[in-house]
Each structure stands twice: as structure tokens, then as C-alpha cells.
Amino acid sequence: MKVALLGYGKMGKVIEPILLERGHDVVLKANSIQPASVENIKGCDVAIEISQPHLALQHIQMCVEAQVPIVVGTTGWYDELEKVKDLVTQQQQKLLYATNFSIGVQLTFQLNKILAKWMNALPQYHPEIEEIHHTAKLDAPSGTGITLAEGILENLDRKNQWVNHSSSSENELPLTSVRTENVPGTHTVTYVSPVDSITLQHMAHNRQGFALGAVLAAEWLPNQPEGMYTMQDFLKFEI
């Protein structure tokens, strides 16, 4: 495939060799020196968008206009998700978005939902989430942290909103963010009771898991019907 990398920072530089190893051609590496445009995206088989929140919507619009399927790993733009869905649907294009492409993280998402559902019968356990990332990460909380929080809220009746700080409120789910040097990403869900704690944790050792997942999604998307997709559609995990 001919692939456009829309964003060529640290993650883009990890994705590129994986694409090359799997026999793909990286025909565009968009950055501040060589920005993406409809013209230089046209002719690509797929685009992988991993830039910054304020650029993601621009890149999506460019790919829709260029009629190129796009895999979006940037987070922080989901306030505009419904508008993007309308755009992709109206123009009969293809888009897959995810807060995290790592297969391990996707497994953690599913385990998180199962555990939250079981906890409905155990009100003595109080959940909390902590996400830790490198200091260069622009958004807080992380998209992965928000997805974990949403998975709990969907399945645990006694919580109805997440907050990005510590909280002892019965209906609030605390989701705290920590930024420190050289941490690719650690997400921890903890249920605390008066007698014990239960922890579900995903710790990324490097960026390779995210990068490989993005490439696998990019290989899959062009062969699908038009529409919006997530990693759940690709992996088909069932609970």
C-alpha cells in the first residue's frame, strides 16, 4: 500500500519502519516543514493520522476530500466526533479512530468492562483510575484514560460521571493524570474496599504496541465498506 503518515513526530517515526517491514511504501511524511494537503494525499491507499489535536480535524477533512481512508490515533478532538461522523457518512468515506491502537490496551478495555459489571453486586468497592504519560503529551486526561472511565460508567450503575481529580463522591469516578519523563503510558484501574484492593493495569514498555496496532488497522480499513469504525470493529472482541 501507499501510505501517508500525517504527523511525523516520535510516534510517526516508530510507525514508519513497521510499515516498511510489512512491504508498504510511505509516500508522504507530513510535518510542519512539509504539511499535508489534499493534493499530496491523493493517490494514497490509506493515511495514518498521529499528529496533534488541533491538526487532526484538518487532516480528516483533507482525507475525506481526497477520498483516502484514514486511521486516526490522535485524541483531544472528540468534541467534534458527531460532525466528523456526519462528514464521513455523507461523503461515503472510511475512517477508523481509536484512543489507543495497542492490542494489549484493547484487551484491557474489555477486561475493564467485565470487572465493572461484576462490581455492581459489590458496593463496598470504589473505583479510581490513574493515567501516567510523558511530559510531551498535550491532552489530559489521556484518551485511553477516558475510554477506561467510559467503560466503567457504562457498566457500573453507582457512578455517573468521571472527574479529572481525586473525589470521594459516591457518584463520581476519579480519573487522575500524572505527567513525568520517559513514560510511554501506564493506565491503572483500582477498586478499593475497606479490606483490600483490586488492580487492573496496562503498562506500555515502549511505543511499538501502539504503532503495530495502527498499521494493522490501516491494512484492514481500505477493504471495508464506507463508514466509521473503531478497534472493536477490527478486533471483534465480544463480552
Q: Do residue 95 and residue 212 come from a single domain? A: yes
Q: Do residue 11 and residue 86 come from a single domain? A: yes
Q: Do residue 168 and residue 87 come from a single domain? A: no
Structure confidence at residue 17 as a pLDDT band (50, 70, 90): very high
Mean pLDDT of 119-124: 97
| Per-residue pLDDT at 235 exceeds 80 | yes
| Per-residue pLDDT at 239 exceeds 70 | no
Structure confidence at residue 37 as a pLDDT band (50, 70, 90): very high
Q: Do residue 55 and residue 117 come from a single domain? A: no
Question: Where in the sequence numbering do the catalytic residues fall?
Answer: 133, 137
Cβ burial of 147 (10 Å; 0-12, 13-18, 19+) is buried
How many independent structural domains does the chain possess?
2
Instruction: Specify the CATH number for the domain of residue 78.
Output: 3.40.50.720
Q: Do residue 96 and residue 212 come from a single domain? A: yes
- Rounded to the nearest integer, the mean pLDDT of the chain is 94
pLDDT in tens, 177-231: 999 988 888 999 999 999 999 999 999 999 899 999 999 999 999 999 999 999 9
pLDDT in tens, 45-97: 999 999 988 899 999 999 999 999 999 999 889 999 999 999 999 999 999 99
Q: Do residue 8 and residue 74 come from a single domain? A: yes
Contact 58, 7 (CB under 8 A): no
Q: Do residue 166 and residue 81 come from a single domain? A: no
Q: The whole model's pTM is what?
A: 0.83
Q: Do residue 14 and residue 60 come from a single domain? A: yes
Q: Do residue 6 and residue 71 come from a single domain? A: yes
Measure the CA dihedral 67/224/30/231, to 10°. Answer: 140
Q: Do residue 30 and residue 91 come from a single domain? A: yes
Report the SS3 class of residue 57: helix
Output the CA–CA distances (angstroms, integers) from residue 34 to 6, 189, 235, in the order listed: 10, 40, 33
Instruction: Specify the CATH number for the domain of residue 169.
Output: 3.30.360.10
Mean pLDDT of 22-37: 94
Range of the domain at 21: 2-101+208-235
Grid-cell match 496533534, residue found: 52
Q: Do residue 97 and residue 214 come from a single domain? A: yes
pLDDT for residue 80: 94
Q: Do residue 213 and residue 97 come from a single domain? A: yes
Share of residues in the chain with pLDDT > 70 (%)? 99
pLDDT in tens, 130-187: 999 988 777 789 989 999 999 999 999 999 999 999 999 999 999 999 999 888 889 9
